[in-house]
């Protein structure tokens, strides 16, 4: 008797519960299953982040605004942790989905999937939403949140996408990531508040960490998958193994070969310039942005020097339309640029406010 039979199959109860819910769901409420699968999808994460941001800006009570900003940070951190955890578990375990186990006995709503059943990403995400909103709502709102998570889990069974054990594992993963994020943010807050006065070497360490994470991920992909392999993780996300001779997001990938020495030289010059900026100790938000860009640039330069091309492995798609595959170095660069844009916009608002104040003072 294996551990899987006890912990996952539940002695056959896992399949029996699935069949009871899947076949017992009336056809008339199939659109309801589709709806809760949609609102429990990772695709709604941008709307959640924008909603938290708008809520924090529109709150008139400063304490309430701070609480919403804290939940925004917690949700974003927990989301990244959950996405990483779910990806690792799906690829490591590779449990078959209901259509692969039961075949034609499963009623599928949508496109049938056959691999990477545990954990349910929808159940994981719904728990992240519940955990983010729970401290901000009253008793009635919390009841609605529990009902939302339960209906998302039910929808995955009714749609023939997951077994009950997958849903339970998703709820557990989402809760664990929410708790971990709630611990990490307060622990990191004192470091962040004093980061402006910390040695420049701290920001160099951030850049080095980005390089190491990027190179580790690329090494794992290169050793695990053959060139050209594509592994479906979620309905919108694949792990792939492709080589990009161009710049970020496949820019200049079709050039004739001259781009390699050019991009290596450009990356090294840009890295030296970024290191010089960090040595001048800019404000912490700028320093974080510059350090992430530095780490991303060096990560891709290392690929061009060692491999001749950049390893890309993150493939997001929607309805057969694929965004160019990218890697963690590209993610670091994008995050760094976003932080610099945010800093510029915030600084512009401060300058405008001071100009208005000075104008009014002299009238």
The DSSP-derived string for 137-189 is S-HHHHHHHHHHHHHHHHHHHHTTS--HHHHHHHHHHHHHHHHHHHHHHHHHH
Report the 10 Å Cβ neighbour count for 9. Answer: 15
> Six-digit token pair at 243?
């080589």
For residues 169, 170, 171, 177, the Cα torsion angle rounded to the nearest 10 degrees is 110
Cβ(116)–Cβ(92) below 8 Å: no
| Residue 359 confidence (pLDDT) | 39
Bridge partner list, 232: 238
Class of domain 1-191: mainly alpha
| Residue 347 confidence (pLDDT) | 66
Residue 328: name the closest of 212, 203, 244 by CA. Answer: 212
Report the 10 Å Cβ neighbour count for 283. Answer: 12
| Residue 307 confidence (pLDDT) | 84
The single-letter DSSP state of residue 88 is H
C-alpha dist (Å) from residue 129 to 46, 147, 253, 282, 341: 12, 12, 39, 35, 27
Cα separation, 90 vs 142, in Å, equals 30
Cα separation, 85 vs 325, in Å, equals 21
| Residue 351 confidence (pLDDT) | 47
> Six-digit token pair at 125?
């995400």
Bridge partner list, 237: 234, 316
Q: What is the pTM of this model?
A: 0.68
Residue 248: name the closest of 209, 297, 281 by CA. Answer: 297
Cβ(120)–Cβ(165) below 8 Å: no
Beta carbons within 8 Å of 113's beta carbon, 6+ residues apart: 97, 99, 161, 232, 235
Scored b (16 or more CB within 10 A) or e, 56-84 reads beeeeeeeeeebbbbbbbbbbbbbebbbe
Relative to beta strand 321-322, strand 230-234 is unpaired
Task: Give residue 250's region: left, alpha or beta (phi > 0; psi -120 to 50).
Answer: left
| Residue 352 confidence (pLDDT) | 47
Q: Looking at the chain, which residues constitute the CATH 1.20.144.10 domain(s)?
A: 1-191
Residue 309: name the closest of 214, 219, 243, 226 by CA. Answer: 243
| Residue 192 confidence (pLDDT) | 60
| Residue 155 confidence (pLDDT) | 95
Q: Which residues are catalytic?
A: 312, 330
On the question of a cis peptide bond just before residue 326, with omega within 30 degrees of 0, the verdict is no
Tens-of-pLDDT digits for all 363 residues of the chain? 577 778 888 889 999 999 999 999 998 898 999 999 999 988 788 889 889 989 988 988 889 999 999 999 899 899 989 988 888 888 788 899 999 999 889 998 887 888 888 899 999 999 999 999 999 999 999 999 999 999 999 999 999 999 999 999 999 999 999 999 999 888 777 766 665 555 677 888 889 988 988 888 888 888 888 888 888 877 788 889 998 876 655 556 555 666 778 888 988 999 999 999 998 888 888 999 999 999 999 999 998 888 888 999 999 888 778 888 899 999 999 999 999 998 887 765 544 444 445 434 444
| Residue 15 confidence (pLDDT) | 94
């Amino acid at each position: 008797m294996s551990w899987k039979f006890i912990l996952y199959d539940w002695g056959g109860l896992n399949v029996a519960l699935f069949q009871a819910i899947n076949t017992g769901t009336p056809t008339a409420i199939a659109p309801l299953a589709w709806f809760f699968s949609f609102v429990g999808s990772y695709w709604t994460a941008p709307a959640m982040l924008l909603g938290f941001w708008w809520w924090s800006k529109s709150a008139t009570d400063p304490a309430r605004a701070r609480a919403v900003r804290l939940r925004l940070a917690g949700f974003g951190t927990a989301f990244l942790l959950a996405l990483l955890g779910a990806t690792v578990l799906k690829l490591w375990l590779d449990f078959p989905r209901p259509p692969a186990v039961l075949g034609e006995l499963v009623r599928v709503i949508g496109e049938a999937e056959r691999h990477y059943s545990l954990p349910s990403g929808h159940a994981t995400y719904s728990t992240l939403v519940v955990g983010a909103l729970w401290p901000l709502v009253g008793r009635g709102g919390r009841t609605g949140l529990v009902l939302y998570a339960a209906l998302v889990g039910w929808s995955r069974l009714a749609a023939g996408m997951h077994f009950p054990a997958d849903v339970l594992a998703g709820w557990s993963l989402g809760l664990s990531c929410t708790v971990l994020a709630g611990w990490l943010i307060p622990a990191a807050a004192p470091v962040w508040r004093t980061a402006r006065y910390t040695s420049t070497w701290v920001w160099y360490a951030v850049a080095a960490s980005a390089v190491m994470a990027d190179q580790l991920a690329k090494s794992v992909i290169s050793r695990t998958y053959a060139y050209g392999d594509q592994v479906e993780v979620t309905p919108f996300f694949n792990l792939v193994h492709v080589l990009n001779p161009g710049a970020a997001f496949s820019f200049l990938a079709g050039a004739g070969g001259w781009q390699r020495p050019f991009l290596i030289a450009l990356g090294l010059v840009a890295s030296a310039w970024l290191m010089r900026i960090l040595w001048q100790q800019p404000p912490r938000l700028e320093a974080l942005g510059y350090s992430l860009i530095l780490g991303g640039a060096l990560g891709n330069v290392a690929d061009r020097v060692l491999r001749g091309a950049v390893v890309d492995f993150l493939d997001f798609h929607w309805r057969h339309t694929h965004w160019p595959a990218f890697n963690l170095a590209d993610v670091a660069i994008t995050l760094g640029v976003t932080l610099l844009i945010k800093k510029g916009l915030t600084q512009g608002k401060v300058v405008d406010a001071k100009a208005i104040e000075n104008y009014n003072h002299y009238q």
